[in-house]
Chains A and B, each alone.
Chain A
């Protein structure tokens, strides 16, 4: 049973950030991102301030910088896109290290890069300090339709089971001398995917049977009541409110 351990983004800990209820953190991250995105790109110092804010949160959560930076690599495709901008965006040009680049393109690249990195940084921090399950409960608490939350939590529960099944099928294929090389073998892979779908579908039916047998009538019973106290809300609000202040300063200065 090659079961994965926890989800890869979560980092176990007992910091004040870990202890906050998930829905307060979700609201805080959303507020922070909105503040960051609405900051004018010319206010470069503001983005430095945002980065410091995130660093402060990471420090409180006792998340090492190296861990955070490694997780930030998820951003790489967007970074590549941002680096293209100075070369493709029309407008007045300037020389940078002997290469001709467009000025509005440079601003656009900076804009995407700075805001993207801050957004990803905030999300990585959220994921590192909140268990997936709590995140889902938090989303439900914030009014996400329960059906969507159910679908997502089944994905969490059965992701590993299905990955395992997929791996077993792959081992079975290879044990009989099959190695996927090129287009000619796509048919076999497609059939495996189909078989996996049927198996998952049948498992879905069995799971539903087990749920009905234990009294499921269409809605998930409430097991964990997630509530946040005023103090917890205030603590979570520290991040977006400071960010808002920085954003307003960015507009006025």
Chain B
């Protein structure tokens, strides 16, 4: 059984990480006390160099890895063995390679997997699947096998597979990797239209700037900075210290050329 949600749910942050530390069984310590709060409806980018512990942190959010010290709570529900099923429904992780995420023979079955595992059946299940696919603009592809889709389409279906579970927070691992510019923009449009809490792990700093008003830098297993994305990217000294580099010609202080709300 899952614990009933507390009455003041809407005042709880979507994600609350407190003093999270973790060492892998081989002794390598990846996280040294991470504190991170993501309010409901926020879109936050998690930046950091390779090996900073970003993936390790993500795998704690739905209880795949168990914290050595500290706590993680999703909308007030602590991540722990007792609530795993509910936590995994509330935390939708979109992994980097859509071929890993889409493991069922057709798009429809893949999107249905999560809700069906939670016990949904029949017409109700169909409705949930259709709604999730419509939200990412892929409803016309429901009966296709995933390997017949383009990479960008697969990534959007991967987003739908977790949306179908009505997650409290959407966690995206490198959402823009391997996407051509058009697919990248389409995904950004989808993400902006969703109205859910988003934590986006990325190396793509312009994408973070475009989508996330707030960014945090995870470096050497701790949160090294937490600020509005524009400010953070403009701080050259901070960026250099954490091996973050803007693409050539990109000026974070310039006004955006595209209206982020438009389309």
Q: Which of chain A's residues has its CB closest to B122's CB?
A: A225
Provide the main secondary structure of the chain B interface: helix
Does B101 lie at the interface of the complex (its beta carbon under 8 Å from any beta carbon of A)? yes
* Distance between A249 CB and nearest chain B CB, rounded to angstroms: 42
- By the criterion CB–CB under 8 Å, are A217 and B117 in contact? yes
Q: Is the CB of A154 within 8 A of B103?
A: yes
Q: Which of A70-78, A101-109, A207-215 contacts B (4 or more CB under 8 A)?
A: A207-215
8 Å CB contact of B147 from A3, A132, A133, A217:
A3
CB contacts between A and B, total, < 8 Å: 85
A207, B117: Cβ atoms closer than 8 Å: no
A174 at the interface (CB under 8 A from B): no
B31-64 contact mask (Cβ, 8 Å, vs A): 1 or 0: 0000000000000000000000000000100101
Decide if A209 touches B113 in the complex (CB within 8 Å): no
* Contact A161:B99 (CB < 8 A) given known A156-B105, A222-B116: yes
**Are B147 and A214 within 8 A (Cβ)?**
no
- When chains A and B are docked, how far (Å) is the Cα of A161 from the Cα of B106? 14
Q: How far is the CA of A188 from the CA of B109 in the complex (A)?
A: 39
Q: Please state if B147 and A207 are interface contacts (CB–CB under 8 Å).
A: no
Cβ-based interface call for B82 (8 A): no
**B residues less than 8 Å from A211 (CB atoms):** 103, 113
Q: Specify the chain B residue showing the minimal Cβ separation from A137.
A: B105
Contact A160 B147 (CB under 8 A): yes
A211-249: which residues lie under 8 A (CB-CB) from chain B? 211-217, 221-225
Which residues of the other chain, A, contact B161 by a CB distance below 8 angstroms? 214
Chain B residues near A158 (CB-CB < 8 A): 99, 103
- Residues of chain B at the chain A interface (Cβ within 8 Å): 59, 62, 64, 85, 88-89, 91, 93, 95, 97, 99-101, 103-106, 109, 112-114, 116-118, 121-122, 125, 145-148, 150-151, 161-162, 165
